Structure 1
Amino acid sequence: MNTLRIIIFLAFYFLLVAWSSSAELSFKPFATLPKHIAEQVIAIYPTSKYDQHFIVASASGELFILNASKGQPELTPLNHNLLTENDNSRLLAIALHPNFDTREQNGYHKFYSAHQVAIDQANTKASRIVGRQFNKDSLEQDIVLKEWQLSDSINLEEVTVREVLRIGLPTSNTAKVQLAFNPYHRAWDDNFGLLYVGLSAIKGFATSPLYSGSILRIKPEQFGLKPYTVPPTNPYVENAEINQEIYRFRLSQLGHFTWPDRVNETLWIDHQDEQTHKISRASNPLSTVFRYKNLEISEFQILPYYGNQADQLFGSTLVVSVHQDQPYLVSLTKHASSNDYQLTPIIPLGVELPVKLFHDAVGGVLMYQPSTGILSRLVNNLADSKETLVTDSNTGLDKLIVFLIMLSLTSWGLWHTYRKINKRRFSVTSFYQQQFNHLELSNDDSVIHLFKPHQSVPSKSLAIGNLAGIKLLINNISVVELSHQQGMTNDFDNIWRQTCNVEKREKMTDGKLRHIQLAITDNERQIYLVSLYLRKGDNRISKASYQAALINAVDWAWRLSTLVAPETTEQRETSSDVIIDKSRPIKTRKTFLNCSALANTKASSALSGDNTINVSDKDKGEKCSEESKVETKAKQIADTNHEQKTDVNDFHLLSTANTTEESRALAENNGLTRGQTDAQIILALEKLVSLKKQNYLTEEEFEQAKAKLLNGLM
């Protein structure tokens, strides 16, 4: 059977190789924009990862929604202009917030725009950045950066706008600006949501760092009265000669910058100085990645490819270049024998320059032709090649072979999948792999992240403000329950620890589960279970030990309680390093019966009118009162055999007869008298030996009980 599987796999592999060899890449048009806006398009952004909707921005300040999911794409204008009549300028750039399509997150339906206007000397409240050598009177123009918040329906008629900053310019010439966010950052990253603003060099003023070709980095969110803040990680925060918003400068004619690597945060910058056109890595100082040599580039632009249409291009950087007198899509890749980069032609474009490259929703490439308004997508013709290969077969035998191979592979795959699913259906390890097992709080304690095993990226993030309650569970039984009205207390802490100690003493037989969980409930009554400890029989599934897990659980209960219910959370008395008291003797049925007997003795004393209470009995009563809190939970969790408990109960009743006032109460309640026969004592000794062999009694308990029985013979 294994040989047959290998043969089927190899046959299918070579078949795929044969089909893949005929695959080709090409740009396939899917939409055409009207002529009156075609040459003014400055940006095209996908609005969502799950549909074919794009935002199209024009230099006139108009925004459009392009719906390419239909057979005939539709272009719908948004009834609002980003520029007012007083601006008398053109839109320079826009950028969508990374959370633009993520509901209930900061940044949802939010974007930023930049345009250039004449300076308003009367506007004294504007937050303006100027070169250190310049003052307000020497400025002629402003680059205005604004924040736009759209409604859920992406309607500009229901919009809020806020001015973030202005960049003062000492000239009236139109500046070149780029706005961008790092698309690979996630909400839990430290630099998430930082806006990069590229400003090309201002001719005649390149001695100023701001106007020498620079990239600014800011956090555009409002903070108190400040319309934006400067990240403390900016390199020139403490340099009085350079604007603290500047991230890199002296880039001359800045064309385009991007992030080619999903892991490395280093920028790649396409720019040109007086000597050469090059791509530089934004290290400090700059380092050259590649220098163009005698190549005509249609426009400053570099675009990393992370799409699913061309595996051979995945992770490479794309540019448009003239090769053999015609425009080509070219990849910038490392040379196999050195660390030098080289340009490798991929496919001819077959169109006239200039063209512009944009990203689609999945990291693929869009090509836009301003002269014609045609928008195309880079596609792989593999599907067409498959159909051609099968259709052009000269014999029916070829079709039959392909059909049989596909049928055999599909059948084997279904059979193998069925066996695997059936085998793992009741697997505890499989169950654990699907559960959350780790949680972390964000730096500002506003979000809690839930992780599954072997994941470095959280599977779920919950806002602290949306939490409704927390529970500590052991074996799916709730021990501690917290909410907005009830915070964590030291009594809850003690109950949890003592309950865990009782469960620890239960013998782990084959098939028995021991499970510690933290349950988090949100305002929508959705429950998220975090498995901190899981064990089945002798096999511990979770990494953490039982001791570490119970401490971790109660620590998280205290920490989350201070965030969810700070007013009702007590001051913690127990430190987090408290461990299980392993030296404490094993709690047996005798202990519980003694408490009951003591209660019965007190009740009978009260009926007889005797108000005298022994001091030792009073202490025992207090101890029983404390333990009764734990036993309420312990009786639900303990999973011992009823008959074995009865044997232990009978044995202790016999062994403790004629000893104390407490034991007399036990003896009377169970119908025992002082006049025990020798046969009864011998029977008790046999039970004693049997229980010791079954490990229900320690050596010390066995000797003590035997001594008491032997005293009964004398």
Structure 2
Amino acid sequence: MMKNVLANLLVLIFVGISTVSQAFQLTVDTIAELPKEINTLSDLLPITNQKDKFFAVSDSGEIYVVDLKQRNDAPLVKVFDINYLVPDAILTAMTIHPNFAIRDQDGYRKVYIAYVTKQPSQKRLLPPKSNGSDYPNTAVISEWLLDEQFIVQPNSQRVVMNIGLPNDVEGVTLLSFNPYSRVWNDDFGQLFFTLSASKNAEFAKEHPLYSGAVLRIEPSTFGLKNYTVPNDNPFVADLAIPSELWAYGLGELTGLFWLPGIKDTLIVDHTIDNSHQIDEVKEGTKNKEAIVRSQTINSLAGVHHMLRYTGNQHTYLRNKLVFADKDDSGWSIYQLSDLNDEPSLVWSFQQNEPIKLFTDHDNEVLIYQPSNGHVQRLMKVMLAGEAQASSPSAIGQSSRWWQYMLVVVAIILLALLCAIVARRYYVKKHSAKHFIAKKYVKAEFDAANQVIGFYKARQEEPESTLRYHELSSLAIYINGAQVGVVDVNASFSNDAEDKLREAFAKERTKKLSDDSWRTVSLTFVDKHSEQTELFCYFRKGSNRMTRFNYDKAQEFVVDCCWDSAAIIAPETLEKRSSVKKEEQHRSIKKFVQPPKQALETQVTVQTSASKTRTRNTVDVEGASKSTGSADSMKRDTEVVFALNQLVEMRKEGFLSEEEFEQAKAKLLKGLQ
């Protein structure tokens, strides 16, 4: 309740501040200068989860990793060179898989590169029937795998698709994935790409593939197929049109933009019939007459580097199209709010040198100037205390004083709100349930597939896997203290199993308070020193939060040790005892507990583990009345047996030293 009240007050205060003054001005800040080795830049792609690192794609077909925070004289890392890997090829487009940074997922460290070779392909997939003389060139879409330093592995190329090209078709000009699609969506991972249009209007009309087309495929392999066609592609049922097509008849395409939550519509930046247009295109569009909405751009330069702004700094530009264009005063940045509106000026450079627009990891606007290699960021500078141009009058001293007071109050309320939220977050984060919910609690050794699967709570499919040949060592921990290890230098054995069970038995004798924890965990280490932690037993006070009880966790750990030893060091692994250890453990416990047929002596023992009483009595009086050597021998045997039981109970921790001495004294007193 208190948190909601504070939040509402903050909203009101910020609204008040915004009404007092909302003036700001734009500026550009130079954040980097690209090295001279990179000639004209054709694309700048943010590397997922690598802040300030980008793939810089040059017009000459080379790809570099650049860090905009480093000095421009830092060593430059070249990760790809089309002229070296594919001689006589021309790189035309590149994109990154949405799962690029997610380990163990399809798409990890994968990029897609399109290039054109000046020779017909022997394995052409599109068009299905063609004459080599009509299509002397080939557009190739290929998948490449990068290593941990983001360098392309030379032999990792997998050709996804070959497309025959007439001489007047440039090839694949754009590769892109829907940025709004998530892993749980049906269209996640579908690759969109554009094919340039033929200059021959009659040929383009007869061949939809070469009329300026948008295509959509699933780039992953399926059996012997290098790619598949989504079932909902609009031309799947039309045998006269390649089923890969999503829309065609669009002329020269230079940009594709998605709308949030809308799958069947794209905003396209293209030139058709010598007119540069920004159009809203529906799935299945066949020509310009089917375009839903259109905006014609009158350009002096004829080149637009357009993007859809989704950053947070410039709220007035959010979800709007931003592009660079040249007017009479030079190059400028414009924004287009709606296809029914005219473009409006955002920033003017007043220079004739061209510029290109890209986005960073936060989707903020980056400006690249090919003439000097400068990379700049479009910034917003607030002008506190000044009125906007549309304000009817200037803001006086009184208004500025109230503004400052509102800011102070807002800071105080914000601090209180943050303190409340931080406390709740801290309590939740440090709770046992929150802790164990993030951990693996189950593992399965899949001998058929040679992998170990790791599961979190309530998971039916493994979230992570580790291949047998990657397993390097296994460490066993009880309450964070290592009690065993399995590796090439210390394989598992029957003696090691006995010591491990002793460690479990010793921990069992300790009493848990309400705030104390008891944990049993395993740490699997692979050959790259990456660790996977598994909690097979977790208990806080009287609450157990894993499915295994202590005994089952013990047996699970022992089995994991044997299985891991068989994987890591099979040549030094000794044969496991044929007697099951759990049965041995039960027999020891049964032997330690005094049987009912034991001596009838008045000895009362209270154990610290169970706090239950077990009576073993020896009818000393009856024994003293017995006569003959047979009775005497029986009496001696029973006493020795009772003493042995007391010794075993002390070793197992069921008797303290004081309790042991008292019980022994009573036995010896009974002999007198």
Match of 2:336 in 1: 330
Question: 1:169 aligned to 2:169?
Answer: no
What is the distance in 2 between the residues matched to 1:85 and 1:432? 48
TM (norm. structure 2) is 0.60
SS in 2 for 1:432: helix
Single out whichever of 143-152 and 206-215 deviates more from structure 2.
143-152
Match of 2:195 in 1: 199
By how many angstroms is 1:252 displaced?
3.8
Aligned in 2, Cα 1:242/1:540: closer, same or farther, shift over 3 Å?
farther
Match of 1:530 in 2: 534
By how many angstroms is 1:540 displaced?
4.5
C-alpha contact 2:17 2:407 (8 A) present in aligned 1: no
Aligned in 2, Cα 1:362/1:494: closer, same or farther, shift over 3 Å?
farther
Match of 1:676 in 2: none
C-alpha contact 1:489 1:570 (8 A) present in aligned 2: yes
By how many angstroms is 1:453 displaced?
9.8
Question: 1:129 aligned to 2:128?
Answer: no
Match of 1:291 in 2: 292
The alignment of Structure 1 onto Structure 2 pairs a total of residues equal to 595
C-alpha contact 2:509 2:609 (8 A) present in aligned 1: no
- Residues 151-170 of structure 1, C-alpha deviation per residue, up to 9 Å, x if partnerless? 877789x9779583642213
C-alpha contact 2:180 2:260 (8 A) present in aligned 1: yes
Match of 2:654 in 1: none
By how many angstroms is 1:532 displaced?
4.8
By how many angstroms is 1:201 displaced?
3.8
Single out whichever of 468-477 and 556-565 deviates more from structure 2.
556-565
C-alpha contact 1:254 1:270 (8 A) present in aligned 2: no
By how many angstroms is 1:238 displaced?
10
C-alpha contact 1:200 1:252 (8 A) present in aligned 2: no
What is the distance in 1 between the residues matched to 2:643 and 2:67? 88
Match of 2:227 in 1: 230
What is the distance in 2 between the residues matched to 1:505 and 1:517? 19
Letter in 2 for 1:318: L
What is the distance in 2 between the residues matched to 1:305 and 1:463? 42
Letter in 2 for 1:592: V
SS in 1 for 2:133: helix
Letter in 1 for 2:94: I
By how many angstroms is 1:131 displaced?
1.2
Match of 2:639 in 1: 667
Letter in 1 for 2:14: L
- Residues 286-335 of structure 1, C-alpha deviation per residue, up to 9 Å, x if partnerless? 9x998334542877877454434246766x3635499x999742356xxx
By how many angstroms is 1:230 displaced?
1.9
TM (norm. structure 1) is 0.57
Match of 1:604 in 2: none
SS in 2 for 1:128: coil
What is the distance in 1 between the residues matched to 2:306 and 2:559? 47
Aligned in 2, Cα 1:186/1:493: closer, same or farther, shift over 3 Å?
farther
Match of 1:279 in 2: 280
C-alpha contact 2:62 2:78 (8 A) present in aligned 1: yes
Which one of the candidate residues 313, 316, 340 is aligned to 1:309?
313
Question: 1:217 aligned to 2:221?
Answer: no
Match of 2:346 in 1: 348
What is the distance in 1 between the residues matched to 2:217 and 2:514? 60
Which one of the candidate residues 248, 251, 273 is aligned to 1:250?
248
Match of 2:92 in 1: 92
Aligned in 2, Cα 1:61/1:394: closer, same or farther, shift over 3 Å?
same
C-alpha contact 1:11 1:405 (8 A) present in aligned 2: no
Alignment of structure 1 residues 585-604 onto 2, 5 Å: 591-593=591-593
By how many angstroms is 1:251 displaced?
5.5
- Residues 83-114 of structure 1, C-alpha deviation per residue, up to 9 Å, x if partnerless? 48998886422334667778999988875543
Match of 2:524 in 1: 520
C-alpha contact 1:51 1:69 (8 A) present in aligned 2: no
SS in 1 for 2:93: strand
Which one of the candidate residues 295, 301, 318 is aligned to 2:321?
318
- Residues 503-555 of structure 1, C-alpha deviation per residue, up to 9 Å, x if partnerless? 9999987557554544323346565433355343444445x575998599679
Aligned in 2, Cα 1:170/1:351: closer, same or farther, shift over 3 Å?
same
Match of 1:394 in 2: 397
- Residues 680-710 of structure 1, C-alpha deviation per residue, up to 9 Å, x if partnerless? xxxxxxxxxxxxxxxxxxxxxxxxxxxxxxx
C-alpha contact 1:132 1:242 (8 A) present in aligned 2: no
Letter in 1 for 2:210: Y
What is the distance in 2 between the residues matched to 1:559 and 1:312? 63
C-alpha contact 2:282 2:292 (8 A) present in aligned 1: no
Alignment of structure 1 residues 418-497 onto 2, 5 Å: 427-429=431-433, 431-432=435-436, 435-437=439-441, 465-470=469-474
C-alpha contact 2:65 2:79 (8 A) present in aligned 1: no
- Residues 473-527 of structure 1, C-alpha deviation per residue, up to 9 Å, x if partnerless? 6766889976679999999999999999999999987557554544323346565
How much is the aligned-residue C-alpha RMSD, in angstroms? 7.1
Aligned in 2, Cα 1:79/1:172: closer, same or farther, shift over 3 Å?
same
What is the distance in 2 between the residues matched to 1:550 and 1:175? 60
Alignment of structure 1 residues 500-519 onto 2, 5 Å: 510=514, 513=517, 515=519, 517-519=521-523
What is the distance in 2 between the residues matched to 1:23 and 1:169? 54
What is the distance in 1 between the residues matched to 2:261 and 2:549? 36
C-alpha contact 1:235 1:247 (8 A) present in aligned 2: no
Runs of 5+ unmatched residues, structure 1: 333-340, 573-579, 599-639, 673-714
Single out whichever of 399-408 and 206-215 deviates more from structure 2.
399-408
What is the distance in 2 between the residues matched to 1:256 and 1:556? 60
What is the distance in 1 between the residues matched to 2:231 and 2:285? 12
Runs of 5+ unmatched residues, structure 2: 388-394, 577-581, 599-604, 624-630, 645-672
C-alpha contact 1:307 1:364 (8 A) present in aligned 2: yes
C-alpha contact 1:26 1:347 (8 A) present in aligned 2: no
